[in-house]
A = this chain, B = another copy of it.
Amino acid sequence: MMRTRPLKVALLGCGVVGSEVARIMTTHADDLTQRVGAPVELAGIAVRRPGRVRDGVPAELITTDATALVKRGDIDVVVEVIGGIEPARALITAAFEHGASVVSANKALLAQDGAALHAAAEQHGADLYYEAAVAGAIPLVRPLRESLAGDKVNRVLGIVNGTTNFILDKMDSSGAGYSEALDEATALGYAEADPTADVEGFDAAAKAAILAGIAFHTRVRLDDVYREGMTEVTAADFASAKQMGCTIKLLAICERAADGRSVTARVHPAMIPLGHPLASVREAYNAVFIEAEAAGQLMFYGPGAGGSPTASAVLGDLVAVCRNKLAESTGPGESAYTRLPVSPMGEVVTRYHISLDVADKPGVLAQVATVFAEHGVSIDTVRQQGKDGEAALVVVTHRAADAALSATVEALRKLDTVRGVASIMRVEGEKGE
């Protein structure tokens, strides 16, 4: 039954991930042949700087002309691990036009142009697989798209960025401030020289857009995702979290509204209870918690980045796409039939943990409580700590719309007795939500 003509693979990009993909394809060629049902041949590797190519990557396959490689006409599968919008988008589109299927690890491109790329794949009868775009080696796209295809996902709650989890874990365990923890992450190679994409939540937001689209069978674009970074999380926030039996994580949260008529997707730091499975995710590990109607609560945990883990996800997709090629079929394409709209952040239902610096005199609590009541926000707990004529008031609310909660905070700022809002943090992942 084994076909002898090999499937030809073009690899675009040969950095940390690409060189590992090339290495595994070479050293494990026999296993790939058995698992695909035909030999899989690395036919060419497009790089920008040929002088930089790593050990173990066959030099004779290197080219700087990615476009010519993709358009060669005999390529069955294009593996895109360049990242960024262009030239990745043009190359993937050209791949479909020339009869190739595509495996991509490009979260930014998928989050921005997933719908157009899926449409191009379908038009040309090709596959577009991208397990590696979300949380590295952790199977998430396939479980959501296939394992849970007969179920109804209601919530996805995940730690999908290893850099920020490393920093927050360090702050939690050592009491370090943000800058100090970031420096350590940079020194250990967990943070890039410019950490903006990670610490400001852009990377997590792209993953949230992809996960929400797949989970709810609708289209969620990067612009639809509410995003707050974690650069303003302080050691004092961690101290407050501990008092509540919580820790702080940067979470990507995708939810179906209670009435089922819309979805939301957001990325922000939040307090979660220490008993929640996500609370114990340490260092640069990722984990994603999925709640589905029939399945209940599932969690997927593993390394969310790195050359080898990402290559593992790419190769899993490569085997699947090659099998589909042999069977002259394609895997599941985009599923966006629900057309559920994405609601703005103001409609998200959540809880706030608010620390206020207030004057230490009678009547302040009553004043503050009145503001909450006027905005229809119900208070769960209040804790007062007084010293030297100043006092701190820590309020944890019940669940309410984010718009009502943020309007409450704005009104509190205007009170004479409130000297400042020391911190605001959402509280997520509690039982019974």
A31 on interface, CB distance cutoff 8 Å? yes
A59 on interface, CB distance cutoff 8 Å? no
Residues of B within 8 A of A152 (CB): 28, 31
Residues of B within 8 A of A346 (CB): none
Measured CB to CB, the closest approach of chain B to A173, in angstroms, equals 13
Residues of B within 8 A of A20 (CB): 294
Interface hits, A10-39 → B, CB 8 Å: 20, 24, 28, 31-32, 34-35
**Chain B CB within 10 A, most for which of A28, A150, A300:** A150
Does A298 lie within 8 Å of B296, measured CB to CB?
no
Does A314 lie within 8 Å of B150, measured CB to CB?
yes
Residues of B within 8 A of A318 (CB): 150
A131 on interface, CB distance cutoff 8 Å? yes
Measured CB to CB, the closest approach of chain B to A113, in angstroms, equals 22
Does B323 lie within 8 Å of A296, measured CB to CB?
no
**Given A150-B316, A313-B147, A327-B330, does the pair A296, B302 have CB atoms closer than 8 Å?**
yes
Residues of B within 8 A of A35 (CB): 149-150, 217, 332, 335
CA of A28 to CA of B87, assembled, Å = 41
Determine how many copies of this chain the complex contains. Answer: 2
Does B302 lie within 8 Å of A150, measured CB to CB?
no
Does B142 lie within 8 Å of A315, measured CB to CB?
no
A280 on interface, CB distance cutoff 8 Å? yes
Does A297 lie within 8 Å of B292, measured CB to CB?
no
Does B146 lie within 8 Å of A142, measured CB to CB?
yes
Chain A contact residues (Cβ within 8 angstroms of B): what range? 35 or more
Measured CB to CB, the closest approach of chain B to A169, in angstroms, equals 14
Residues of B within 8 A of A312 (CB): 148, 150-151, 292, 294-295
A121 on interface, CB distance cutoff 8 Å? no
Measured CB to CB, the closest approach of chain B to A393, in angstroms, equals 35
Interface membership of chain A positions 265-297, coded 1 if the CB is closer than 8 angstroms to chain B and 0 otherwise: 000000000000100100000000000111111
Residues of B within 8 A of A24 (CB): 150-151, 294
Interface membership of chain A positions 310-346, coded 1 if the CB is closer than 8 angstroms to chain B and 0 otherwise: 0111111111100110011110100101000000000
Does B309 lie within 8 Å of A295, measured CB to CB?
yes
Does A309 lie within 8 Å of B327, measured CB to CB?
no
What are 13 pairs between A and B in contact, CB < 8 Å? A137-B298, A139-B147, A146-B316, A150-B319, A151-B316, A292-B312, A294-B312, A295-B302, A295-B308, A295-B309, A300-B300, A327-B329, A328-B329
Besides the known contacts A148-B312, A151-B312, A293-B308, 11 further A-B residue pairs in the complex with CB atoms under 8 A apart: A24-B151, A24-B294, A28-B150, A142-B146, A150-B314, A150-B315, A295-B303, A296-B306, A301-B301, A327-B330, A329-B329
The 5 residue pairs across chains A and B that have the minimum distance between CB atoms: A150-B315, A137-B295, A139-B147, A294-B312, A149-B319
